[in-house]
Each structure stands twice: as structure tokens, then as C-alpha cells.
């Protein structure tokens, strides 16, 4: 089991950038898939991007590919999400989650919800027009 803490959110203007961090404690991340998800008010949670620490395999939501980049630093037990060219519609609570690789892969981490995943509390991103 891992405990996750997100940081890096904030208020940014349209076109701006932010780097979100998902720091883990407890187990190391090399046996987990980690994903970034977001939920805007009144909308369902959607997957943004997922990564496996072990080999760096990544998966991106088709609609967000090209503007967002996921990466990891195993030594720091942290997964990052670089947000570029931000738009008002990117405003949401961004949360990270982890799931053991023994029961998932990077694509399923993003596409299949599972009760029992480890979640952080989220970090708010607000993009002003």
C-alpha cells in the first residue's frame, strides 16, 4: 500500500503551465501503476495519464495528448504531470492514484476504475480566461 500526496496546483492564466507532483510514501512505486485523473465540478472523473514506474510505459487520454506529459522519479518516489498550454476547460481537481502492477497494466490503470486503489487528496488547478 502507498500513501499519495499531490501538490503543484494553483491559479494560472490561459496558455500557462503547471507541474503537478504525486509523492508516495510506504511501498516503492516500482511495483505500481500510477495515474493522474481529474474531475471538474458537475462532471465525472476522467483519466488524464498513467505510467508504470518499472519501465516508464505511459498512457494518455487522446484528448489531452500533446499538452500534458507524465514522468516519474523513482529515487524520489514521485510521479509528475506537466501541464502546458492550459485552457479554462482544464480547470479541475487533479488527483493521483496507484494500483499494484500484479493486477493491472498502464492502460487498464487509466481506463478501468477499481475500488481499493490508493488515492491522494487532490490538488486544484484553475485556469483563468
Cα–Cα distance measured from residue 17 to residue 96, given in angstroms and rounded to the nearest whole number: 18
Q: Give tens-digit pLDDT for 40-67.
A: 999 999 999 999 988 889 999 998 888 9
| Mean pLDDT confidence for 63-89 | 93
The residue among 44, 42, 60 whose CA lies nearest residue 109 is: 60
Which segment, 46-55, 82-91, 98-107, is predicted with the most confidence on average? 82-91
CA atoms within 13 A of residue 53's CA, in its CB half-sphere: 24
Confidence of residue 82 (pLDDT cuts 50, 70, 90): very high
Cell of 99: 494500483
How many degrees, rounded to 5, is the angle at CA 84 between CA 83 and CA 90?
Answer: 65
With a cut of 90, say whether residue 118 has pLDDT above it. Answer: yes
pLDDT of residue 53: 80
pLDDT of residue 9: 98
Amino acid at each position: 500500500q502507498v500513501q499519495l500526496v499531490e501538490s503543484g496546483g494553483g491559479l494560472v492564466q490561459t496558455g500557462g503551465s503547471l507541474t503537478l507532483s504525486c509523492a508516495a510514501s510506504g511501498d516503492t512505486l516500482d511495483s505500481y501503476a500510477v495515474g493522474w485523473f481529474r474531475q471538474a465540478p458537475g462532471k465525472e472523473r476522467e483519466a488524464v495519464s498513467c505510467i508504470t514506474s518499472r519501465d516508464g510505459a505511459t498512457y494518455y487520454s487522446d484528448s489531452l495528448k500533446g499538452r500534458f506529459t507524465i514522468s516519474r522519479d523513482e529515487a524520489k518516489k514521485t510521479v509528475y504531470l506537466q501541464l502546458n498550454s492550459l485552457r479554462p476547460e482544464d480547470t479541475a481537481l487533479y488527483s493521483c492514484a496507484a494500483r499494484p502492477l500484479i493486477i493491472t497494466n498502464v492502460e487498464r490503470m487509466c481506463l478501468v476504475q477499481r475500488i481499493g486503489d490508493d488515492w491522494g487528496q487532490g490538488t486544484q488547478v484553475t485556469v483563468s480566461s
